[in-house]
Amino acid sequence: MFIGHFNEQPWQDPKLDFTKPGAGIRDLGLSNAVYSPEIGQQLYNRYIDEKLYAEEIGMDGLMLNEHHSMPGCMQGVTNVEAAILARQTKKAKIAILGNVLPIWDDPLWLAEQLAMIDMISHGRLITGWVRGTGRESITHNAVPPYNRERFQESHDFVIKAWTTPGPFRWEGKHYQYRYVNPWSMPLQKPHSPIWIPCSVSRDTAVWCARYHYPMIMLASGMEATKEMFQVYHDTAAEEGYTSGPQNVGYLFKVHVDETDEQGYEVGRKFIEGVSNPFNVGNEGSVLSFLQALPGLSSRAAVNTRIQRLQPAGRGGSGLFAKYDDQIKNYTIISGTPKTVLPKVRHVLEYLRPGSIFFWDGDGAMTHDDQVRSLRLMGEELIPATREIGKELGLLTSFETNDGTGYDQTAWAAMKK
């Protein structure tokens, strides 16, 4: 079993009261006039320190992501932090889940960056790519109806740049290069493993299965996650292979603390608190029409996403449901290691993922909250979770694919 750490790395400024109506994430509605580089430098270094400690206590992977022009995520240039971690860490995989491919006007530059990160880390990079939300399309001037086309062509181009000796030309619909011959190539062969994040998208599940890429569901709730895993497994069967735990992973919110009472109260900070941009009391925190721009996604995907992002008080049951509701439906798990472990077991038994990421230290949580939780995870939760994974036969792709994390059989088939 592969166990990793994730933090959205939110903006925290006690002078900004996100509990006020309309003061939350407010997609593209919060001016950077309130931004403080002094606070920013403290937070960036804090989050890097926490990632270093996560490796120290035994996490297998450090997951990074990116969003743009919003206080909920400071990782607008996630490859910068990935490069820092590549040099400062020793063992943990660096999982970028992921770069937003459609907003890259120069995917050759991306191929070079990721290859450098893979080499500096001595081959510990896990590459992940996403299509991004409407927010990313607007802030980087990417035309939504071309989103999927640009994603696919960028993907195809980077794979070729990594695996085909240059120089060669590329004449595509969205990208044209007269000379492709990058002087930085991945250390891992044929390239770094590719894991694809998914947020309740049947299209993504089908695409991942066709490419044999492990799919990581992002805090999507138990039933929605199980449904997407089944779509993957069914598609794999249609493609002529049997998928299993090594092909699927799950990110979910887990916080452990010294007492159940403390764990319960600190767990509230995932979605509550003055300095929390994800405050669920703010009904206008996420504007669904910006997340579902015309042409960005299929109608079915749009309807699913809107339902999932419904705010509390309007029938929502997903990421923005009330705290006690999320505790009941396992969207958030908090408490001592002793009380958290049976709930983690339930998630593993029900979903059977080979890879998991504990999402912790987020929202309004402090550095002390995160360090305390990580220490207890290292002492008790991670070893016990590994034993459960072993008992259930939950192997990750690094244990089933010659230790490479990449499906070599699928690679050979695609090359033909």
Domain ranges of the chain: 2-415
How confident is the model at residue 318, as a pLDDT? 62
Burial 48-82 (b: 16+ CB within 10 A, else e): bebbbbbbebbbbbbbbbbbbbbbbbbbeebbebb
Q: What pLDDT, in 10s, does the model give residues 11-50?
A: 999 888 777 765 555 567 778 898 999 999 999 999 999 9
Mean pLDDT value across residues 252-263? 98
Beta bridge partner(s), residue 177 = 170
Q: How confident is the model at residue 307 (pLDDT cuts 50, 70, 90)?
A: low
Q: Which long-range contacts (CB under 8 A, 24 or more apart) does 344-351 make?
A: 344/254, 344/381, 344/385, 344/388, 345/388, 347/222, 347/250, 347/252, 348/385, 348/388, 348/389, 348/392, 348/394, 349/392, 350/222, 350/226, 351/222, 351/225, 351/226, 351/229, 351/248, 351/250
Mean pLDDT value across residues 272-289? 65
Rounded to whole angstroms, the Cα distance separating 245 from 222 reads: 15
Give the closest residue to 397 by CA, choosing from 388, 406, 410, 409: 406
Percent of the chain with pLDDT over 90: 72
Neighbouring residues of 42: CB distance < 8 A, sequence distance ≥ 6: none
How confident is the model at residue 313, as a pLDDT? 38
Give the closest residue to 249 by CA, choosing from 202, 298, 205: 205
Class of domain 2-415: alpha beta
CB half-sphere exposure, 157, CA atoms < 13 A: 30
How confident is the model at residue 311, as a pLDDT? 44
How confident is the model at residue 276, as a pLDDT? 79
Mean pLDDT value across residues 409-416? 63
Give the closest residue to 174 by CA, choosing from 198, 159, 152, 193: 152
- How many other β-carbons are positioned within 10 Å of the β-carbon of residue 150? 22
Asked if residues 218 and 253 have their Cβ atoms less than 8 Å apart, the reply is no
Q: 229 vs 137, which has greater pLDDT?
A: 229
**Token pair for residue 161?**
């740049």
How confident is the model at residue 86, as a pLDDT? 98
Asked if residues 120 and 169 have their Cβ atoms less than 8 Å apart, the reply is no
Position 288 pLDDT exceeds 80 = no
- How many other β-carbons are positioned within 10 Å of the β-carbon of residue 123? 14
Which of 101-115, 123-137, 266-280 bottoms out in mean pLDDT, i.e. has the lowest? Answer: 266-280
Q: Alpha-carbon torsion 319, 320, 325, 326, what sign? A: positive
How confident is the model at residue 390, as a pLDDT? 98
Neighbouring residues of 323: CB distance < 8 A, sequence distance ≥ 6: 267, 268, 270, 271, 272, 280, 332
**Single pTM value for the model:** 0.93
Rounded to whole angstroms, the Cα distance separating 250 from 240 reads: 24
- The label of the residue with tokens 């990793």 reads 4
Mean pLDDT value across residues 221-237? 96
